Structures are given as C-alpha cells and as structure tokens.
Amino acid sequence: MSSSFQRDGFQSNTARLPLSSRMVLCALRPQLLKSSRCAGAWGRLLQRQSSGSVYSNIHGLNQEEIREKAFPGGSIDLHKHDSGIAVLTINNPSRMNAFSGSMMVDLEEQVSQLENWTDGKGLIVQGAAETFCSGSDLNAVRAISNPQDGMKMCMFMQNTLTRLLRLPLISVALVEGRALGGGAELTTACDFRLMASDSVIQFVHKHMGLVPGWGGAARLVHIVGSQNALKLLGGTLKVDPKFGLQIGLADGVLEGPQAEEGAGTPLQQAENWLSRYIKGPAPVIQAVKKVVLSGRELPLSEALRTEKDVFGTVWGGPANLQALASKSKHK
C-alpha cells in the first residue's frame, strides 16, 4: 500500500461508503484485504469468497450443494496463453452449452484462477462447438425450481459473473450461434461482445416466465440503456449483429466463412481484435482495466480516488521509466 494512500484518509472515507462501493474498491485493491480497512465481517467475507463478490456465504451459498443439486455434466475449460490472453470455453455441446450445476462451480473456480493471474491481460469467453450458451440447463432448472434453491443459484451466479466482469483483464465474449437466457447474461459480464455473422443474442427469460437473475438485466442497462434493455427483455428480441451494433450490445462483427482468406477462425479473429487493446506490459493493461472499472461502477469522487491509487502503481514503474528513457513521440 502506498504511503499517499494511507495519508489521505482513505480508510475513514471508505468506511462511510455504501457496501457496493467498498466491494468494487476491494476488488480493485486486493492488498486492502490484508489491511485493517477491510477488517471485520466485510474483510472476512472477501477473504473467503475472494474480492468483488456481491453476496456472502451467510446467505447459504454452498458450492457442493450447487454442484450436486443442479446436475453434473459439461465443463468450463481455461487455457492461459503466453500472449497474456486466456480463453475460457463453455463446454457442454450436447446441450448447446447449457450451464449445469457443476459448470457453475467450475466457472467460479476458473474465475478464481484468473483473479490470481499476474501476467494476464485479456480474456476471451467462448462456447464450444460454434455456439455460445443456451443458458441454464433446463433439467437443472426443473430440479431446483423451488424458491430457496433458485435464490441460491441466482446469488451464486451473480457473485461469479460480477467477479468475472471485475477481473483486471480486458474481456470479450465471442458469440457464435446462440446466446440465450443465462447465455445472453454471460455475454454482458464481459467488457466487449464480438458477434459472428449468423449469431443471435436473445434474453428469452420472459418466455420462461422469468427475468434475468445472473445480473444480466443490471449490466444490460449499463450497456444499452434502459430503453433498449426494456425492449430486449420485454420483447424477447433477437439481437443479430446488425441490431447489436446499432444498440451498442455488439462491439464488432466477425468475418463469415465466405470472407476472403486470411480472416482466420472466429477465435483467431477475436484474438486479433483484442490484441490491439492489450499491447504492452500486464501491469499497465491491468491498470487500464481498473481505472475504467472504477469509473463504471463507483461514484465519481471514489472513482477519482481509485484512479489516483492505480496511477500510483504505474507512475515511476518499469514501463513508465522505459518510455521516458526512450523519448518516444506519439505520431
């Protein structure tokens, strides 16, 4: 922790913040967890669940229960590459990559891995076998259709997807085929969405007598605004790439297979797209994500404080000193 950080009375200010702001701050500054600032129940919660969660274990979250009750099958596969890009694959192709209970727990474990990846810069979230994800496994949904289990599943997935979005990595959902229900929600837990030419994102919850429960509605409003979010949820509209670009849900459209040679596979295209935003050393890219995350989630005064603290982690750092020594011009 920097001395300026201690000097400016951050501790007392932080204690007065709403819980949600303290969560973001602690997600942004893991070192705070070790300090007295996050001591007490809040600190214990974060140490147990890692930083950035929304709900605590006291609400009855239990990984084994979710794994066992909400069906086995499928996996969430993580591959970290030397380039600093990790690829997270939702892998349950016989059910269009629907989320079983064990996959929910796998996802939480893989997010924990990524939280500790000091060399990481970017993340691509994709589905196996050329489709993204068809949401909750409907067999699991039937098995846990009572309110108590539904709440546990909802809180568990909100925690995990909030932590996914708060990773210090620039993340992209690579949407091929369909992203339905919880799959559509998952796309909103990434910083960006790239859509294959024939892909569709659809919040089908209303057809299921539901609303999003994995945090997808709250995130959607941030991404496309409340008017568009109402239309997408109320009308269960199919978002194709053109519509996605128009409302800001999609950040890019991939070349289709008929495109000229050289475009590469969808994953290669996503890596190329992402690579322009993650050039440079990991600490600097992670700092970029942290200042944007704080601006996105915190009240302005707290975002400014966080920006100052993150700035302090790169100012005079190796990349900064090297750039100063090279007298670079930004032409």
Contacts to ligand BCO by CB under 6 A: 95-96, 98, 134-139, 141, 178, 180-182, 204-205, 208, 210, 213-214
Minimal distance, residue 214 CB to ligand BCO, in Å: 5
Cβ count near 180 (within 10 Å): 27
With CB atoms as reference, the residue minimizing the distance to ligand BCO is 135
Residue identified by tokens 């890219």 is 285
59 or 142: CB nearest ligand BCO: 142
206 vs 269: CA distance, rounded Å: 33
Nearest Cα residue to 168 out of 247, 267, 281 = 281
Name the residue nearer to ligand BCO (CB basis): 168 or 215: 215
CB of 256 to ligand BCO, least distance (A): 19
Q: If you compute the radius of gyration of the chain from its CA atoms, what whole number of angstroms results?
A: 20
Distance CA 252, CA 136 (A): 26
Q: CA 220 from chain center: how many Å? A: 13
Per-residue tokens: 140: 């699991």
- Residue 171 Cβ vs ligand BCO, minimum distance, rounded to whole Å: 20
Of 197, 106, 178, 172, nearest in space to 135 by CA: 178
In degrees and rounded to multiples of 5, residue 293 shows phi and psi of -60, -45
Query: Up-side HSE of residue 62: CA atoms within 13 Å toward CB?
Result: 8
Nearest-approach distance from CB 211 to ligand BCO, in angstroms: 8
Nearer to ligand BCO, 143 or 208 (CB): 208
Choice between 135 and 283, CB closer to ligand BCO: 135
Instruction: For the CB of residue 157, give the shortest distance to ligand BCO in the complex, in Å.
Output: 7
In the complex, minimum distance from the CB of residue 324 to ligand BCO, in angstroms, rounded to a whole number = 50
Closer to ligand BCO by CB, 110 or 202: give it.
202
Whose Cβ is closer to ligand BCO: residue 14's or residue 134's? 134
